[in-house]
């Protein structure tokens, strides 16, 4: 079978849907490669900064790696702005939707809300923007984590002189994360908080 028999879903057969399910599962195996390609396309995204959005993404992930962050944090930092091209008004939610089935709940929540937290750095300069928009999340278990995510890796990563790691360095990490079983409770672990930085791991990576 190369194609299903139906023109309306309600007319599909058992064989049709078994074929589609197998086809879709096979398609998901290349998700990481498609995401790496989409990252490169961020060079066509919003301009005006001293580095491109791809450069910003790589720099955020480079800082996370050098801080001794674990793989969930690193991949989340790399992909946190991947929605900029297709979802400019809710790019954070877009990125979190991609990440959520495969990373710790802590990381997905921080990516989902980082747009609100970033307002702290520029909201007071613009009419109609709420500098303290992050306060609507005050009391959430991951509030401090998102604040640190933005301070350490997001708002700091617009430096054209920073020594970025190459994008190819992160490809195996993206492959590893997106090869996981989606929505695995052993991965998602709601309520679990792991530190963004680990000085011992950072020292090992710098050696």
CATH number of 12-206: 1.10.3210.10
- List pLDDT tens digits, range 174-200: 999 999 999 999 999 999 999 999 999
> From CA 136, how far away is CA 116, in angstroms rounded?
9
Closest C-alpha among 156, 166, 35 to residue 94:
35
Instruction: Quickly tell me which residue has 């998901």 as its tokens.
Output: 28
The secondary structure of the chain in percent helix, strand, coil, rounded to multiples of 5, reads 60, 0, 40
- List pLDDT tens digits, range 24-65: 888 888 899 999 999 999 888 767 899 999 999 999 999 999
Domain boundaries, the chain: 12-206
pLDDT score at 25: 85
Contact 1, 15 (CB under 8 A): yes
Compute CA 104 distance to the chain's CA centroid, rounded to the nearest angstrom.
11
> From CA 15, how far away is CA 28, in angstroms rounded?
20
Compute CA 23 distance to the chain's CA centroid, rounded to the nearest angstrom.
26
The average pLDDT across 164-170 equals 98
- List pLDDT tens digits, range 107-166: 999 999 999 999 999 999 999 999 999 999 999 999 999 999 999 999 999 999 999 999
Closest C-alpha among 78, 93, 89 to residue 35:
78
């Amino acid at each position: 079978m190369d194609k299903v028999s139906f023109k309306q879903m309600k007319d599909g057969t058992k064989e049709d849907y078994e074929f589609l399910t197998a086809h879709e599962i096979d398609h998901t195996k290349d998700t990481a490669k498609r995401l790496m390609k989409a990252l490169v396309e961020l060079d066509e995204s919003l301009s005006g900064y001293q580095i491109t959005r791809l450069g910003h993404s790589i720099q955020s992930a480079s800082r996370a790696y050098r801080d001794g962050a674990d793989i969930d944090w690193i991949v989340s930092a790399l992909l946190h702005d991947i929605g900029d091209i297709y979802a400019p008004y809710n790019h954070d939610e877009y990125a979190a939707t991609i990440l959520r089935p495969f990373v710790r709940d802590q990381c997905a929540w921080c990516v989902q809300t980082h747009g609100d937290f970033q307002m702290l750095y520029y909201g007071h300069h613009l009419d109609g923007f709420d500098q303290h928009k992050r306060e609507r999340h005050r009391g959430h278990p991951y509030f401090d984590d998102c604040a640190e995510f933005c301070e350490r890796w997001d708002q700091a990563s617009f430096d054209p002189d920073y020594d970025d790691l190459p994008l190819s360095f992160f490809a195996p990490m993206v492959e590893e994360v997106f090869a996981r079983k989606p929505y695995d409770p052993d991965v998602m672990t709601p309520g679990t908080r792991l530190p963004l930085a680990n000085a011992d791991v950072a020292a090992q990576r710098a050696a």
